[in-house]
Structure 1
């Protein structure tokens, strides 16, 4: 059963799960996904003796679906509210995709007094938009076209990208049932949240956040990631962050937390114990 707490910023009720004892690992889901996305990670780390805390961000899973509050600052403050609600100390933050943006913004806004290190999978940082000082980024026209497609038929948009999400064309073994379930999970997200967070993922500049991260950072990224291309993200992040390590997965896409779960779990565990 999930547990709930109310955010101090606007009274939104958020759902979370809390398992085990020991050093806490806080799992932050990716865009449009609930905490269930971590089903290959939670049992593993519980068996290793860690406490696993998982948050359904606003608009996702069993949390409230307000009309506002999907900006990066508020989402980072929601994460801070959970950590403070549970009075977590020496926490490890593990995040996927846009969850990585929330983690680095959390550190920028709230500091690292409660956090010992972070592990980010296919994170949408440091800056995805094409600008004069970021010529390799995604052009505004392409971002707008993506948002228009999501508005028109979100289910079809997800279906068109399902195989690429897992890089099945490179031989990764992900069952059709798993792909179907993950699409259903993504569709459970509020359409308002899905559109606004997707828009901000490609237009929010996290370069200053990344450059100021005060704890060790592990970056795990699929070279075949079509959602958050590695050249725009982790290969730039590792150059900016003070203490970062990048591990590249040659035949992985954005869904490496499932397609490469055993290696992901082993890499995170080694990083925690280092």
Structure 2
């Protein structure tokens, strides 16, 4: 079922509640620059096993509204809260990939994990996507600057290049085209504003506020959110489960989809 939920005046967020009567609800949060279709190969398996899967397009992406503002992590976390309340979600698993993984961590602090019983972070951009004076494990700032400049210069070309480093294993040409089209469904300004947020957002303190069962999945060949970020998340979240993916890059949900789906179902129960 399709929903458009108003999170503030004039801004609606799209949610696809694929199996409303299913068990163990999972709210899937996609990363930049995609949309909820990113998890197609999870839906394929989970729906057959009776899970309730909810795919949310974050603001500026997919079928959600695309305002010129509101792309910092606090506002993104507030959007999740509005969706959770509107959908009356409770005792659900929150799954965040990449930037959405970072936003999920912020949600746990800012909204005290409202409604969430389990958290899954996959290739998450926490505690910092880029290098900091006290954290040398992220990307250098120029890598993000190049993405921003590339968006302004030739967004399709930038997205194509990003797609080439997203997966560790070679994908087919039709698959690469499908991935590119997801990115093109976003607004150019939202594509830039999220990238700019990477330069300022940090979650070193937020990690300590995660106090529910947490599964961390991270590809060792990740060239976007480097593997050391997953290690830092595991160190910062007490009692978390950390599963490295030895044959995966940033798109571990496709690079090793069978392992990913198995780990997710084992964890959610």
TM-score range, shorter chain: over 0.9
1:269 paired with 2:269, answer no
- CA apart distance, 1:135: 3.1
Aligned residues: 267
Partners of 1:77 and 1:106 within 8 A in 2: yes
Compare 250-259 and 140-149 and name the one that shifted more.
Answer: 140-149
Q: Distance in 2 between matches of 1:203 and 1:143?
A: 11
1:5 paired with 2:5, answer yes
Q: Distance in 2 between matches of 1:104 and 1:142?
A: 23
Counterparts of 1:18-37 in structure 2, within 5 Å, are 18-20=17-19, 21=21, 22-37=23-38
- CA apart distance, 1:177: 1.1
Shift in alpha-carbon separation, 1:136–1:43, aligned structure 2, 3 A: closer
Q: Distance in 2 between matches of 1:129 and 1:248?
A: 21
Partners of 2:97 and 2:121 within 8 A in 1: yes
Compare 220-229 and 151-160 and name the one that shifted more.
Answer: 151-160
Compare 99-108 and 201-210 and name the one that shifted more.
Answer: 201-210
Counterparts of 1:234-253 in structure 2, within 5 Å, are 234-253=230-249
Compare 145-154 and 134-143 and name the one that shifted more.
Answer: 134-143
Counterparts of 1:1-274 in structure 2, within 5 Å, are 2-7=2-7, 9-20=8-19, 21=21, 22-168=23-169, 174-231=171-228, 233-273=229-269
- Please give the secondary structure, in 2, of the residue aligned with 1:207: coil
Q: Distance in 1 between matches of 2:246 and 2:199?
A: 24
Q: Distance in 2 between matches of 1:254 and 1:131?
A: 21
Partners of 1:26 and 1:92 within 8 A in 2: yes
- Structure 2 gaps of 5+ residues are none
- Please give the secondary structure, in 2, of the residue aligned with 1:82: helix
Q: Distance in 2 between matches of 1:180 and 1:191?
A: 18
Shift in alpha-carbon separation, 1:87–1:197, aligned structure 2, 3 A: same
Q: Distance in 2 between matches of 1:147 and 1:154?
A: 9
Give CA-to-partner distance per residue, 1:198-241, whole Å, 9 cap, x none. Answer: 2213431111111210111111111111111112x111111111
- Structure 1 gaps of 5+ residues are none
Partners of 1:138 and 1:202 within 8 A in 2: no
Q: Distance in 2 between matches of 1:139 and 1:258?
A: 26
TM-score (norm 1): 0.92
- CA apart distance, 1:67: 0.8
TM-score (norm 2): 0.93
Q: Distance in 2 between matches of 1:10 and 1:45?
A: 34
- CA apart distance, 1:47: 1.9
- Please give the secondary structure, in 2, of the residue aligned with 1:3: strand
Q: Distance in 1 between matches of 2:64 and 2:117?
A: 27
Q: Distance in 1 between matches of 2:164 and 2:46?
A: 28
Partners of 1:67 and 1:192 within 8 A in 2: yes
Q: Distance in 2 between matches of 1:135 and 1:19?
A: 40
